[in-house]
Amino acid sequence: MELINQVIYVDNVEETLDFYFQAFGFGTHALSDDAEYGELATGDVKIAFANHPYAQAHFKQGYIRAHPKQPALGFELRFSCTNLSESYDIAVLAGAEPLCPPSCRGTQYYAYVRAIEGTLICLVQA
């Protein structure tokens, strides 16, 4: 078995794809004609977004929606960057909520922001 992507359910797929491009530089790998589903160009394992009606059409069980005004869900995405301060500032200027400015714990330099759909993002200096 192999992990091929992670899908995050959002209100607006195109808006979310644009945010991830502006904030983190990830281009769009794929977008369905109806804009219900899209993937970022993130290498072998894609980060994908689907709108809530798409999710509800695939399974009838309820789920907790990620939302920036609610507590964050219990997971994060981690992105490696070469300039932590600059990457953090760009993400915040693009609309990410600042949660933890660039910090250091031991030998790891990191920062946290929250994406427009509510996902926690950890930026780690490579």
pTM of model > 0.85: yes
Q: pLDDT (tens digit, 9 = 90+) per residue, 91-112?
A: 999 999 999 999 999 999 999 9
Q: pLDDT (tens digit, 9 = 90+) per residue, 63-87?
A: 888 888 899 999 999 999 999 999 9
pLDDT value, residue 59? 85
List strand residue ranges (DSSP E) for the chain, in order.
Answer: 5-10, 28-31, 37-40, 46-51, 76-81, 97-105, 108-114, 120-125
Share of the chain above pLDDT 70, in %: 100
The residue with tokens 């400015």 is: 101
For the purposes of burial, counting CB atoms within 10 Å of the CB of 108, is it exposed (0-12), middle (13-18) or buried (19 or more)? exposed
Q: Which two tokens stand for residue 107?
A: 């030998």
Q: Please say if the pLDDT value at position 116 is more than 90.
A: yes
> How large is the angle between the packed helices 13-24 and 84-93, nearest 10 degrees?
150
pLDDT value, residue 76? 97
Mean pLDDT (the chain, rounded) = 95
Beta-carbon count within 10 A of 91 CB: 27
Average pLDDT over residues 49-76: 90
Q: Report the amino acid identity of residue 1.
A: M
**Residue of higher predicted confidence among 64 and 31:** 31
Separation of alpha carbons 46 and 28, rounded Å: 10
